[in-house]
Structure 1
């Protein structure tokens, strides 16, 4: 099983609204949670579970820079990269008035030499 605790991720091939978005994941057993911000996300959170194969199932909620509150669900499937980092293929579904669905890629941000995986404040930059 992949240990997601402390791993930081950013979108691959992000559009302008996602550019600069960074997520920090936390894990205890199969319980997963995280927070993200940057780009058009003022603040977002996610809560879910991690399967034995490293796949993630979670719900998310985010407040966008325009004040919109968006929630949905996501299934992320991991791929281990040659350098040991994780790439996640996300299949997401947004709920509510602006319901939508799609797919995206997140890639683990490499550890910094001086500070390990970095602090949550670094992840918000």
Structure 2
């Protein structure tokens, strides 16, 4: 089973459509006893939250977000956790909006600090 998501800072690999998460969005994950939650912001996202459960390499969660233009949206996502050759964690996601039409796939990967440079943090 891949290691815990607790404390990981993650970012999408590619941009999505406007008003959705993109490469400037940062997720701060937490995990305890099968529960997973995260905060996220950046790019078009002013503030977002996700909460769900983990079983083995599968995370099932709901998310809700506020965009910088004041719109809200919510949805459901199932992610498969994979470990990259360099040891970082990748989430391969299949998501769907519940508050509006639309669905898709995305990939987020763990961000590690570069030596001597501070890592961007998502406020909770």
Moved beyond 2 Å, runs of 4+: 111-116, 122-125
Q: Give the TM-score of the pair, scaled to structure 2.
A: 0.86
2:34: which partner in 1? Answer: 30
* Residue from 74, 81, 86 that aligns with 1:78: 81
Q: CA deviation at 1:114?
A: 6.0
The aligned residue for residue 123 of structure 1 is: 121
Deviation at 1:123, TM superposition (A): 2.2
TM-score by length of 1: 0.85
Cα shift at 1:110? 1.5
The alignment covers a number of residue pairs equal to 119
RMSD over aligned Cα, in angstroms? 2.1
In structure 1, runs of 5+ residues without a counterpart are: none
Deviation at 1:78, TM superposition (A): 1.5
Structure 2 runs not aligned, ≥5 long: none
CA gap of 1:5–1:90, structure 2 versus 1, over 3 A, is same
